[in-house]
Amino acid sequence: MTRAVPLATRTLLAQRRRLIASVLGVGLSIMLMLLLDGMWAGVRAQVTVYEDNAGASLVVVAPGTENLFSDSSVLRSSTVAQVAATPGVRWAAPVRTMYTILDLHDGRIAASLVGSVPGKPGGPWRLARGRAPATDDETTVDGTLAKRHGLRIGADLEVMGREFRIVGLTTTGSTFMTGMVFLTHAAVQQLLSAPGTTGAVLVGTDQPAAVSEALQAQGLTVRTREQLRQADLALMTKVFGSPMKLMVGIALLAGTLVIALTAYGAVVEHRRDFGVVKALGATTSRLSRLALVQSLAVAAAGVVVGLGLFAVGRELVGMWRPQFLILLTGQTITRALLAALVMAVLAALVPARRLAQLDPAAAFRSLP
């Protein structure tokens, strides 16, 4: 009988419209998990974009500074010459990095502000159009930010009370919560009324370990690119990690309940059939397996639908809000598959219990 009658599949397929609704429900839950996971992967990839592209092996910062944008590092301008004179240093470039709030016509948004010396490293690294700022009244903004808020080359952008003319757009730089704005180092000094200071010194060297040691011996605080990346990731995980896990957990719960509802519905509707099966000698464990097979089938179909919905959703989100980078990694897919398996097993418990309690005499009664 096990081989001959695919009871689990047949009872599931008996009501196609209901099956479609449940597969769609599970698919949406899987899609939600994939999107959250993908967004989180995107956030982690984007948050270190400046450190990854600034070209510096080492960065000299003020004591206690661990993140370039969250901590406000202040150094004397003379530090740049001191760093440049250190043996093994190929180049040293001052930068001011901080967050700022832009007041745009369609909303207030946070931006990562970078002030660099024209012609030196630390400024915009990949230009889609235009050029990097050359004078103290010019700015280059990231293309995603520009597209989202209708900023064009030649237009003015207000930063901390001063107007800057947009002269270039970059291809990368936006994260899902902040855009990127580049000014000259002198312009940021003026905005902060802080002449004679800089924020950090980017260091180019072929001997990072030796140079780092030499700089620290002079009393300077040095961070490697990797240390800054890890500090950014740690901060981001601290802020968003717990809420993100919570949301994924609730999506998992929603998916589990949808599968349970489907499998339970099928059992209730076909309890007379199951009663016949039990009266014919089927054991409780056979019926429990049946509930599990139904749950697994719905979960498997849900994964396929979820992946499809995710692909469509990712494209739509990318078109609607390009600042949301959503990555699909092998780990993300593995986690979704595991989640579906967990959902299926948990969801099977409710109908399995109902089947275990089923009275074989139900087979010989009329339905109420």
Select the span of 26-34, 202-210, 212-220, 275-283 touching other proteins (CB under 8 A): 26-34
Burial label, 190 (beta-carbon count in 10 A; 0-12, 13-18, 19+): middle
CB of 3 to other proteins, least distance (A): 26
Cα torsion angle, 360, 361, 362, 366, sign:
positive
Are 317 and 142 contacting, i.e. CB atoms less than 8 angstroms apart?
no
How far CA 139 is from CA of 82, 122, 160, 173, 294, in Å, comes to 29, 14, 13, 14, 60
Find the binder of other proteins among 25, 42, 94, 306 (CB under 8 A). Answer: 25
Where in 62-101 is the site for other proteins (CB under 8 A)? 62-67, 70-72, 74, 98-101
Q: Please provide the DSSP assignment of 3-57 as one string.
A: TT--HHHHHHHTSHHHHHHHHHHHHHHHHHHHHHHHHHHHHHHHTTHHHHHS--S
Contacts (CB under 8 A) with other proteins, residues 33-52: 35
What's the min distance (Å) between Cβ of 282 and other proteins? Answer: 20
| Site membership for other proteins, residue 15 (CB under 8 A) | yes
Q: How far is the CB of 32 from other proteins (least distance, A)?
A: 5
Asked if 137 interacts with other proteins (CB under 8 A), we say no
Does 262 sit near other proteins (CB under 8 A)? yes
Of 32, 83, 169, 277, the residue at the interface with other proteins (CB under 8 A) is: 32
Q: Which is nearer to other proteins, 107 or 281 (CB)?
A: 107
Angle made by CA atoms 192, 194, 199, in degrees to the nearest 5: 85
- Among residues 6 and 249, whose Cβ is nearest to other proteins? 249
- In the window 295-314, what residues touch other proteins (CB under 8 A)? 313
Which residues, 6 or more positions from 71, have their beta carbon under 8 angstroms from its beta carbon?
61, 62, 64, 65
Among residues 65 and 79, whose Cβ is nearest to other proteins? 65
Nearer to other proteins, 87 or 195 (CB): 195
- CA–chain centroid gap for 243, Å, is 12
- Single out the residue of 36, 9, 22, 2 nearest to residue 313, CA to CA: 36
| Residue number, 84 or 342, with CB nearest to other proteins | 342
By C-beta, is 146 or 159 nearer to other proteins?
159
Q: Which is nearer to other proteins, 100 or 207 (CB)?
A: 100
DSSP category for residue 366 = P
Residue of 317, 341, 345, 363 interacting with other proteins (CB under 8 A): 317
334: helix, strand or coil: helix
Instruction: Enumerate residues 184-223 that contact other proteins by CB under 8 A.
Output: 191-194, 221
How far apart CA 87 and CA 93 sit, in angstroms, is 16
**CA angle, 175 then 239 then 159, to 5°:** 45
Query: Going residue by residue from 219 to 258, which x/- string records binding to other proteins, judged by CB under 8 A?
Result: --x-------------x---x--xx--xx--xx-xx--xx
Q: Which of 5, 128, 134, 268 binds other proteins (CB under 8 A)?
A: 268
